Structure 1
């Protein structure tokens, strides 16, 4: 789909936002769902089988959030670590629920084979408000850098810091939605004082590989597994998805560390970012969640089969 070109209702065209505009934007944000009910309660149930620990806290007065990560209980130092992250963008629902569903239904399959570390909801404030940014109008998925301005990103960096050299694979679970074009990209352009250029939303699942460390066989294995669950996004007329060249069916590449993306925080050999399209008439919420679970399993299966290659 293409987006409207109407002016964003906050700010002056061509002028970056200041404190007043950010405060106006924040005043418009509404809580639509509960992090505690949807995520924390699920983690409490999972804690009967897995290790669940707090790794940070977020303070957005009057709101306060505790951040949690899940580990397998039979953690063994000799095993490689697999990192799964979801909800870096809080509005991308299947990233959160796909990560939780993976832990609940499939994580036990990998007991004694890898150490699993899962951060299912990196941005709970944004999850509740179905938003891309945090309360300071900062995109956490452009903020995975040293001295990050996004506490969501900084907390996750601190979590993985002691383990970084042992992480073999990192899969970051995302969605691309129609609201990217109708709300979030127009808001980004307004915030930064830049013109908004409408684009196309790809219909289907795709992956973002790291252009600085491409792993085509790894990406291909995930695509082929997910293809059995939901459709793969085709390239547009220019052979691209979101203005990035399609290097293989359903695969594009970004310089993930350079852009401050979550997939770049570990320096792992195998990394990918999943993208499902929940607004497609050809996909249900259940399919989107399942696509995320299948992607995680396919990624782990591949690295276990090829870790010594």
Structure 2
């Protein structure tokens, strides 16, 4: 895609005002139920997991936020953290985290204390949005003093565990709606022109450029490649405008950009991306890929 989309909110070349953000918010509607589709699945895991409500989002409708702490938790063991739903519209990240928690393997819980935060942005889940109601991206907001409650509430919750977290895998999707809605909306909000329209067809990883851990990333790609296809590079040897550092892997500066994968100082971190709109993918296949990524990440670190 080369032509620039126009967006119905804002003035071309000018960042949005608060009125534009309010206009955007007024156009959002609830399209699915966080309580029915996520919270019920969280509560169904109570036999093996301690369910922790770590905050509530302060919106017109209050959304409780949940973390799962495995009941085989033992003091002194390293922590493996799995997060999903930073972007609420990315369904397989949320349901992948829940599926991982439902079938967590004994060997994993024997080597690690496991912490799962399945849906960081429930308003985004219900309205199928990348942003929160204030048109802020939670996945660019993970820094102390953040005005984005999805990010700050998680930062506060994770802080007591942070020094013990050895591994963090953050589960995401890249979808066709990135081009039809979210990239045009971002360009309009910032008053800029978007030039990158690449959507990779397949699974890929975003490593943290400050702690890339190439062998760790490769192990995940190898494992997920048995479940679903890995995204090929574009004609520029890139994915979403970033240079490929190895097959299926690009790098971002996690902490500098305020990404969720910069949440902790864990040495082993990555962000997954699946492509649910691929003709080669299904909803279940995408969930299975997320579970395979989390399992292989933990298995790699456990074997060190």
> What is the TM-score normalised by the length of structure 1?
0.96
| Structure 1 residue 6: Cα displacement | 2.9
- Supply the distance in 2 between the matched residues of 1:233 and 1:281 (Cα, whole angstroms): 13
Name 1:134's counterpart in structure 2. Answer: 132
Name 2:12's counterpart in structure 1. Answer: 13
Matches within 5 A, 1:30-179: 30-61=29-60, 63-179=61-177
The SS at the match of 2:199 is coil
**Please, what is the CA RMSD of the aligned residues?**
1.0
The SS at the match of 1:189 is helix
| Structure 1 residue 109: Cα displacement | 4.3
- Supply the distance in 2 between the matched residues of 1:294 and 1:99 (Cα, whole angstroms): 11
- Supply the distance in 1 between the matched residues of 2:54 and 2:19 (Cα, whole angstroms): 32
- Supply the distance in 2 between the matched residues of 1:305 and 1:254 (Cα, whole angstroms): 26
Matches within 5 A, 1:203-214: 203-214=201-212
**Shift in CA distance, 36/109, structure 1 to aligned 2, threshold 3 Å:** farther
- Supply the distance in 2 between the matched residues of 1:142 and 1:101 (Cα, whole angstroms): 26
The SS at the match of 1:112 is helix
- Contact (CA 8 Å) 1:218, 1:302: kept in 2 or not? yes
State which of 245, 248, 272 in structure 2 corresponds to 1:247.
245
- Contact (CA 8 Å) 2:108, 2:299: kept in 1 or not? no
- Supply the distance in 1 between the matched residues of 2:19 and 2:109 (Cα, whole angstroms): 51
What stretches of structure 1 of length at least 5 have no aligned partner?
A: none
- Contact (CA 8 Å) 2:171, 2:290: kept in 1 or not? yes
- Contact (CA 8 Å) 1:181, 1:198: kept in 2 or not? no
**CA-to-partner distance for each residue in 1:238-272, whole Å, 9 max, x for gaps?**
11111111111100011111100000111101000
- Supply the distance in 2 between the matched residues of 1:209 and 1:34 (Cα, whole angstroms): 32
- Supply the distance in 2 between the matched residues of 1:279 and 1:4 (Cα, whole angstroms): 21
Name 2:254's counterpart in structure 1. Answer: 256
- Supply the distance in 2 between the matched residues of 1:3 and 1:51 (Cα, whole angstroms): 49
Q: Answer yes or no: is 1:28 the counterpart of 2:11.
A: no
| Structure 1 residue 163: Cα displacement | 1.1
What stretches of structure 2 of length at least 5 have no aligned partner?
A: none
**CA-to-partner distance for each residue in 1:179-234, whole Å, 9 max, x for gaps?**
11111011011011112324110100000111111100000000000001100001
**Shift in CA distance, 12/293, structure 1 to aligned 2, threshold 3 Å:** same
- Supply the distance in 2 between the matched residues of 1:257 and 1:301 (Cα, whole angstroms): 25
- Supply the distance in 1 between the matched residues of 2:139 and 2:158 (Cα, whole angstroms): 16
Q: Stretches of 4+ moved more than 3 A in 1?
A: none
Matches within 5 A, 1:190-201: 190-201=188-199
The SS at the match of 1:24 is helix
**Count of aligned pairs:** 304
- Supply the distance in 2 between the matched residues of 1:32 and 1:140 (Cα, whole angstroms): 20
**CA-to-partner distance for each residue in 1:101-132, whole Å, 9 max, x for gaps?**
00001254422221000000000000001100
| Structure 1 residue 5: Cα displacement | 2.3
> What is the TM-score normalised by the length of structure 2?
0.98
The SS at the match of 1:60 is coil
| Structure 1 residue 49: Cα displacement | 2.1
